[in-house]
Amino acid sequence: MTAELELRVRRLALTNAAEHAGEIRPGPVLARLLATDPALRSQAAELGRLVGRVVAGVGTMSPEARDAELARLGGPIESTRPATSDRAELPPLPGAVDGKVVLRLAPFPNGALHIGNARMLYVNDEYRRRYRGKLYLVFDDTIGSEEKRVDPAIFDVIQNDLVLAGVPPDDVFYKSDRIPRFYPWAVRVIERGAAYVCRCPAELLRKNRESGTACPERSQSLEETLEGWEKMLAGAFGPGEAVLRLRTDLADPDPAFRDRVLMRISDLEHPRVGRKYRVWPMLEFSWAVDDVELGLTHVLRGKDLVIEDRMEEFIWKLLGIQGPPFLHWGLLRLREAKIAKSKSFKEVKSGVYDGWSDPRTWSIDSLARRGIRAEALRRFTLSFGLSLSDIEVPAETLYAENRQLIDPTTARRAFVPDPVLVEVEGAPELGVIELPNHPDRPELGRREVVAAPPYWLPRAELERHAGEEIRLKDLLNLKLPLERIAGDATRLVARFTGRENKKLPRIQWVARESSIPVELLELDGSRRTGQGEGSLRSSAPGDVLQFERVGFVRLEDKWKPGTEPVLACFGHP
């Protein structure tokens, strides 16, 4: 962290303060810094601490001192989107032929697609677009375990997620439809002398793997293995009593790669095929088959699946097959997104979460519910290229992309959370005034707003500025009383001090006469209530708005115009 970088952060913090009447938010400061210099993204965590420290210091300065220092540093920094050339580029696919590229998405159907899957979606889709190829959705719905079961509802959920993400597949396949196609491949491996039917107990197998000791059945003859394989298919063994195991090097440096399982037995009922099949392939064996039979030209996936690569390549080499090459990426995390698919599944099924669109799931559906556009998610994801490094960035980096897309066309509306009714002594007769729908976009028009007191004002601001002179945004100035607010029913009386646009703390307001109750779903699943301006009555479900001094919101699809309260979901600052 150099002195020059700290000065840039300070100038950005002062710019943010000037744009928001002295109220500085660290998130937008960090996002603007990263947007203007993408090379800094690898230092996002350390920069976050620097931004927090600088913002805290700037927050203690008077408005006059802030203005003077900002002028000394060169004035406000314009908010600009980085040029395309500054963003990471995806490398060419090796050996790719225009119009011939075939790629795949391979989700296991036990939960909705989420922010952690974005790299899988958009890297594959971007290459499909670049080479005018095809992208298949192949459900990895081989039989799971008691703890990890295929959920039949998730097939439709995932396909809807792809629609929301703007990544429609060219075709859809289910592993469970293809089970008989894996059996001849298993026989081919056996006939190469590369597999055996293992009946070792799990504990003995674990010890043998760790020590590199051969299983007692590893030396069985080809005839014995074929006989054991036929018995597996005929139901002579129960679940866990026998598996078809690949012969690999028992001295392999990775114990996990020593004699891995190819096929196993399960009596679990599958939601699509019931108990039609008892012998199921392990995922890496199924992909060794399908990546060839489905005509894949390239396999793009996370670097955590390298052992799956080894398995596929081992089998292809064994059978004399040339399979597709592999390309990998590292993990891309949002710091605020604490994703646990198993927890989300449990909470959705129990009703604790409001379905897969609950903001706490960080699903593709939940991002759409919040008004985060698919194009913003695409730009955010692809800006990191195909780096193998694990990357963790603040959510504000994604929000900055969305803000660039929606801010120019998003109307502003007033919303007062946790409102307190305030009477005004000496207030002029104001009646109805006109306010712009957007401060910088006159083409978005204006709306009429009732401006007569009394007003709903936010409790937190009243407590923060008790006894001070403040300005109701775009309206008039008030002197607040000194008394503290006690109880929800308290009504305060303030004194009118003028309409001059002085440098005073700005407070959002809504006139009681035209107000409408609003319920805002927050990112933690809580619901914040308040009062919104009357023009919200003419809004429609799905509208994206900016609640001034709160953030961008999207009106809920389930809200019916004409009903109260207005239902909205918070998007981001």
Distance of CA 141 to the CA centre of its chain: 23
* Residue 156 φ then ψ, to 5°: -70, -35
At 37 the pLDDT is: 64
**What gap in Å lies between CA 437 and CA 265, rounded to an integer?**
63
At 63 the pLDDT is: 84
In one-letter notation, the amino acid at residue 143 is I
**What gap in Å lies between CA 301 and CA 287, rounded to an integer?**
13
**What gap in Å lies between CA 296 and CA 287, rounded to an integer?**
10
**What gap in Å lies between CA 345 and CA 342, rounded to an integer?**
5
**What gap in Å lies between CA 359 and CA 354, rounded to an integer?**
9
Asked if residues 280 and 266 have their Cβ atoms less than 8 Å apart, the reply is: yes
At 342 the pLDDT is: 78
**What gap in Å lies between CA 476 and CA 498, rounded to an integer?**
6
Torsion of CA 482, 483, 488, 493, to 10 degrees: -60
At 489 the pLDDT is: 46
**What secondary structure does DSSP assign to 267-336, as a single string?**
-PPBTTTBTS-SEEE-HHHHHHHHHHHTT-S-EEEEGGGHHHHHHHHHHHHHHT-----EEEE--EEETT
Q: Which residue has the tokens 């709160």?
A: 550
**Secondary structure E strands in 335-484:** 391-393, 412-413, 415-417, 419-425, 432-436, 446-450, 455-458, 469-472, 476-479
Q: What is the pLDDT along the chain (573 residues), one digit of tens a residue?
A: 577 788 888 888 888 888 766 677 777 787 777 766 656 655 666 777 888 888 888 888 888 888 888 878 777 765 444 433 345 689 999 999 999 999 999 999 999 999 999 999 999 999 999 999 999 999 999 986 666 789 999 999 999 999 999 999 999 999 999 999 999 999 999 999 999 999 988 788 878 888 888 888 899 999 999 999 999 999 999 999 999 999 999 988 888 889 999 999 999 999 999 999 999 999 999 999 999 999 999 999 998 888 899 999 999 999 999 999 999 998 888 888 888 777 888 899 899 999 999 999 999 999 999 999 999 999 999 999 888 888 888 899 999 999 999 999 999 999 999 999 999 999 998 899 999 999 888 999 999 999 999 999 999 899 889 999 999 999 999 999 887 665 554 578 999 999 998 889 999 999 999 999 999 999 999 999 999 999 999 999 999 999 998 999 999 999 999 999 999 999 999
At 1 the pLDDT is: 59
**What secondary structure does DSSP assign to 130-175, as a single string?**
HHT-EEEEEE--S---SSS---THHHHHHHHHHHHHT---SEEEEG
At 80 the pLDDT is: 40
Q: What is the pLDDT of residues 53-88, one digit of tens each?
A: 888 888 888 888 888 888 787 777 654 444 333 456
In one-letter notation, the amino acid at residue 369 is R
